[in-house]
């Protein structure tokens, strides 16, 4: 059996008629850049999260950059972010003129550790960017309390966490602003690049929308950038959004089945979910000391896995100038060589999940008879 890491074509086949007609409509209307499909998606996404404004842009990286500019980042300002994320989270701090200050993660959840943030605050600190890695909310109470105490802004990088919740509230609704990516492989993905900023702040919404569209249409009130969402991407997202809750449920069901099947394997840690959080499993990340051999055995069994991410950010050449040592970020440093993301996508069949779990058990030398047969999950 072959198990891909994600299967975007399988998802397309499930909604083919809707997608094909949405694409045909955009072409018939020549509604290629912004326009009514984009307006409709901005409204629908804000409505889904129960936030006031959703400002579309070209991708999730731009969303971070635009939000930081909108919050008035000035050269030399310091922004604290997690040591273990995709580089978009930190590179945009530099791009916006700021200085990157990394903070270590919690070993079990890979989230920024709020207990360590305070020690990173200096006179130059202006904001915090927590990430919801893999689809699990960061500790928002802890982070917001520090932000309040020191008068810092918070931008939530929710690129991996569409519809994830913390204490019953959607991520993206806690900070001054939040950013989402609709990169094809994300939980809500377009057929190309797309992203957005969400906020309840009217002034910030207005500024970011103006900045992202050349500083205003007709009257340029300032110099801006060109960061727009395509009509095609918005039309595709409009078709997909109503399916997102069911796809999220399906992801959670795959994760629950993995948890059952992988339970009790010595040397393997399944995902740890924090209190009061609804994990949306953009990724299903396990950790083991035998990571490299597990990855190889799974590849030999035609199972595609991924490492998210193989190095914590401070240890890439891009950040060599900060001069960090492994002991500066012990949790992230330990995790980077232990984590591996197993395939997870809403259309995964029970046979695929069992196959991945069996091969994982086998690779880790766990000879115990494959667990008693569980009742089959309905096909998604
Ligand atoms: C995907 C991702 C981004 C960037 O999104 P793009 O749309 O690819 O620019 C930012 N942060 C995190 C954590 C991501 O996973």
What pLDDT score does 365 carry? Answer: 85
Selection from 241, 243, 193 nearest residue 44 by Cα:
241
Task: Write out pLDDT tens, residues 233-276.
Answer: 999 999 999 999 999 999 999 999 999 999 999 999 999 998 89
The predicted model gives 134-152 an average pLDDT of 98
C-alpha angle 186-275-333 in degrees, rounded to nearest 5: 65
- Residues, the chain: 380
Are 377 and 253 within 8 A, CB to CB?
yes
Strand (E) or helix (H) holding 94: helix 88-95
Instruction: Indicate the pLDDT class of residue 376, thresholds 50, 70 and 90.
Output: low
Asked whether 61 lines ligand 1 (CB < 6 A), one says: yes
What pLDDT score does 372 carry? Answer: 44
Asked whether 159 lines ligand 1 (CB < 6 A), one says: yes
The predicted model gives 59-82 an average pLDDT of 98
Q: What is the CATH number of domain 8-242?
A: 3.40.640.10
Contacts of 148 (CB under 8 A, 6+ apart): none
**Distance between CA atoms of 139 and 167, rounded to whole angstroms?**
10
Placement of tokens 């890979």 in the chain: 110
Asked whether 305 lines ligand 1 (CB < 6 A), one says: no
Residue 8 pLDDT greater than 80, yes or no: yes
- Distance set, CA 52 to CA 47, 155, 177, 205, 291 (Å): 8, 16, 11, 9, 43
Closest ligand 1 atom number to CA of residue 194: 7
What does pLDDT average to over the chain?
95
Question: Is the C-alpha dihedral spanning 178, 184, 186, 189 positive or negative?
Answer: positive
Residue 370 pLDDT greater than 80, yes or no: no
Spell out where 130-270 has E strands.
153-157, 165-166, 169-170, 177-181, 195-199
The predicted model gives 356-362 an average pLDDT of 96
Task: Measure 276 CA to ligand 1 centroid, in angstroms.
Answer: 25
Q: Which two tokens stand for residue 275?
A: 């209190």
Task: Write out pLDDT tens, residues 17-37.
Answer: 999 999 999 999 999 998 999
Read off the DSSP letter of residue 126: E
Task: Measure 60 CA to ligand 1 centroid, in angstroms.
Answer: 5
Q: What is the CATH number of domain 243-363?
A: 3.90.1150.10
Selection from 82, 86, 147 nearest residue 113 by Cα:
82
Task: Write out pLDDT tens, residues 292-315.
Answer: 999 999 999 999 999 999 999 999
Task: Write out pLDDT tens, residues 188-207.
Answer: 999 999 999 999 999 999 99
Backbone phi and psi for residue 251, each to the nearest 5 degrees, phi listed first: -60, -45
Closest ligand 1 atom number to CA of residue 193: 7
Model confidence, pTM: 0.95
Q: Which two tokens stand for residue 89?
A: 């989270």
Rg (C-alpha) for the chain, rounded Å, is: 21
Instruction: Give the start-to-end residue ranges of the domains of the chain.
Output: 8-242, 243-363
């Amino acid at each position: 059996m072959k198990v891909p890491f994600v299967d975007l074509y399988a998802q397309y086949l499930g909604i083919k008629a809707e997608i094909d007609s949405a694409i045909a409509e955009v072409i018939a209307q020549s509604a290629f850049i912004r326009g009514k499909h984009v307006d409709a998606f901005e409204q629908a996404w804000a409505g889904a999260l129960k936030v006031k404004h959703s400002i579309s842009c070209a991708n999730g990286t731009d969303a971070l950059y635009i939000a930081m500019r909108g919050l008035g980042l000035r050269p030399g300002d310091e922004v604290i972010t997690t040591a273990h994320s995709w580089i978009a989270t930190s590179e945009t701090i530099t791009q916006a003129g700021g200085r990157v200050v990394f903070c270590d993660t919690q070993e079990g959840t890979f989230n920024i550790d709020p207990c360590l943030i305070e020690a990173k605050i200096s006179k130059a600190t202006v904001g915090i960017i927590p990430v919801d890695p893999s689809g699990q909310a960061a500790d928002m109470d802890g982070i917001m309390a520090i932000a309040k105490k020191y008068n810092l802004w918070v931008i939530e990088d929710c690129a991996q966490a569409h519809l994830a919740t913390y204490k019953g509230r959607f991520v993206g609704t806690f900070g001054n602003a939040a950013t989402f990516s609709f990169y094809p492989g994300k939980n809500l993905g377009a057929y190309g690049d797309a992203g957005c900023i969400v906020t309840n702040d009217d002034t910030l919404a207005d500024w970011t929308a103006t900045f992202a569209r050349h500083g205003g249409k007709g009257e340029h009130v300032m110099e801006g950038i060109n960061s727009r969402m395509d009509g095609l991407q918005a039309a595709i997202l409009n078709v997909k959004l109503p399916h997102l809750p069911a796809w999220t449920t399906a992801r959670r069901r795959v994760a629950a089945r993995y948890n059952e099947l992988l339970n009790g394997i010595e040397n393997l840690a399944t995902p740890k979910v924090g209190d009061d959080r609804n994990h949306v499993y953009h990724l299903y990340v396990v950790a083991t000391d035998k990571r490299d051999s597990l990855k190889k055995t799974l590849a030999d069994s035609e199972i595609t896995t991924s490492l998210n991410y193989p190095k914590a950010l401070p240890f890439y050449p891009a950040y060599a100038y900060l001069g960090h040592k492994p002991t500066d970020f012990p949790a992230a440093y330990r995790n980077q060589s232990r984590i591996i993301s197993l395939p997870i996508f809403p259309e995964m069949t029970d046979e695929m999940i069992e196959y991945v779990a069996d091969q994982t058990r086998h690779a880790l030398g766990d000879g115990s008879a494959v667990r008693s047969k569980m009742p089959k999950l309905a096909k998604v």
